[in-house]
């Protein structure tokens, strides 16, 4: 069934299309009774005929409902369209993705990057406490929400747990491959080396690597590794330590920032921060301007969910370099014009990273 403005989905009246990707569409909608704005993610018919993709959609609902954090986009409801298509109802956020901001600004001052990374690490603390590994952190999956607080007018939230996995390893070998559908390398630049070797190898430390890569990109306007082919990027990630900010930019940086990124981007995961909490504590020692650091809300155990989601088979991942990458760079429930975008081409094609935002450096820092 085609969806149109004015249709009622899960008790909300559809207003307009926000985005479209390989698996689904995302529509803005509003409650006629409460006036609440939401974003509804609907699984497309061509994806709904694939049992593994339906399972992935259901797993996203199960995982998102398990995480209780103000730094993670909230799942509000799960349901079906009138013709039986699966849908997820998320809170609708007001603001922009970090990817959009970086495309506009090329790079950001540390005072602006600091609270973004702090919030992301707070969100990861909650996700990891719920036994969830994100596996696709990148600027497109970090949303900078406008708030009503004059003291903190913005807050970063993690989006899109569509390719997350649970830390519990029982049954991992049984998950069907998602490679046939997720063939793009949309998240490749932010993947940890062990995740490049195979998605099943990713644990909490892969998320920490991704946070380090996001921070590096945000501060420098460059990616830690750049190359002309996928094979070259794989080789660099597997064989080399990430460069320092000074090497990437030609500028001097505070030693504390360099040490944090060096550890977060360690090629060997045993040398990285062991947990998101440890990384958060290390990041907070770098707080600019004598800012008072507020402790994050305590991580709550997931409450019994009222969401009616068919329990998926034990979640696992495909163990190959193509697996567990996102079809869309842009977050799918964010208020932006409909688009289908990916970060990089298909495996085997040349990667033209000269188009990466920030290639042309702004003058001044």
Which residues are documented as binding site for ATP? 50
Q: How far apart are CA 90 and CA 158, in angstroms?
A: 12
| Rounded alpha-carbon distances, angstroms, from residue 55 to 59, 86, 176, 326 | 6, 11, 9, 16
Contacts of 256 (CB under 8 A, 6+ apart): 285, 286
Catalytic residues: 136
Q: What are the DSSP E strand ranges found in the chain? A: 8-9, 12-20, 24-30, 37-43, 75-80, 86-91, 95-97, 132-133, 142-146, 154-158, 165-166
345 by DSSP, 3-state: which? Answer: coil
Query: In terms of DSSP bridges, do strands 142-146 and 95-97 run parallel, antiparallel, or are they unpaired?
Result: antiparallel
30 by DSSP, 3-state: which? Answer: strand
What is the rounded radius of gyration, in angstroms, for the C-alpha atoms of the chain?
A: 20
Range 240-275 burial, b when 16+ CB lie within 10 A, else e: eebbbbeebbeeebeeebeebbbbbbbbebeebbeb
For the beta sheet containing 86-91, the strands, ordered from the edge strand earlier in sequence to the opposite edge, are 8-9, 12-20, 24-30, 37-43, 86-91, 75-80
Tell me the two tokens of residue 29: 């909608």
Q: How far apart are CA 333 and CA 18, in angstroms?
A: 7
8, β-bridge pairs: 13
Given a contact cutoff of 8 angstroms between Cβ atoms, the answer to whether 333 and 143 are in contact is no
Query: What distance, in Å, lies between the first and last C-alpha atoms of the chain?
Result: 51
């Amino acid at each position: 069934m085609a969806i149109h403005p004015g249709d009622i989905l899960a008790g909300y009246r559809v207003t307009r299309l926000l985005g479209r990707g390989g698996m689904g569409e995302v529509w803005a909608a509003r409650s006629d009774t409460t006036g609440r704005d939401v974003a509804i993610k609907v699984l497309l018919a061509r994806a709904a005929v694939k049992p593994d993709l339906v399972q992935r959609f259901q797993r996203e609902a199960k995982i998102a409902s398990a995480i209780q954090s103000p730094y993670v986009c909230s799942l509000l409801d799960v349901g079906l369209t009138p013709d039986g298509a699966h849908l997820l109802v998320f809170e609708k956020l007001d603001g922009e993705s970090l990817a959009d901001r970086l495309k506009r600004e090329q790079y950001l001052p540390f005072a602006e990057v600091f609270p973004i990374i702090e919030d992301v690490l707070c969100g990861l603390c909650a996700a990891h406490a719920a036994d969830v590994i994100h596996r696709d952190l990148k600027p497109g999956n970090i949303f900078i929400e406008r708030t009503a607080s004059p003291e903190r007018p913005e807050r970063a939230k993690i989006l899109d747990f569509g390719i997350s996995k649970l830390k519990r390893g029982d049954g991992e070998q049984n998950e069907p491959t998602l490679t046939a559908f997720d063939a793009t390398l949309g998240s490749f630049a932010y993947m940890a080396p062990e995740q490049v070797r195979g998605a099943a190898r990713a644990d909490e430390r892969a998320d920490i690597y991704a946070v380090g890569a996001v921070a590096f990109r945000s501060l420098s306007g460059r990616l830690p590794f750049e190359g002309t082919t996928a094979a070259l990027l794989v080789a660099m990630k597997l064989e080399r330590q990430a460069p320092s900010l000074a090497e990437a930019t030609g500028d001097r940086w505070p030693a504390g920032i360099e040490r944090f990124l060096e550890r977060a981007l360690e090629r060997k995961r045993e040398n990285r921060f062991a947990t998101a909490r440890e990384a958060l504590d290390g990041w907070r020692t770098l707080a600019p301007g004598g800012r008072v650091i507020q402790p994050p809300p305590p991580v709550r155990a997931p409450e019994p969910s009222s969401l009616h989601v068919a329990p998926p088979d034990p979640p696992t991942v495909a163990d190959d370099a193509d697996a567990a990458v996102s079809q869309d760079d842009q977050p799918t429930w964010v208020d932006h014009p409909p688009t289908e975008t990916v970060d990089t081409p298909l495996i085997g094609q040349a990667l033209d990273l000269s188009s990466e935002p920030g290639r042309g450096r702004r003058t001044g820092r």
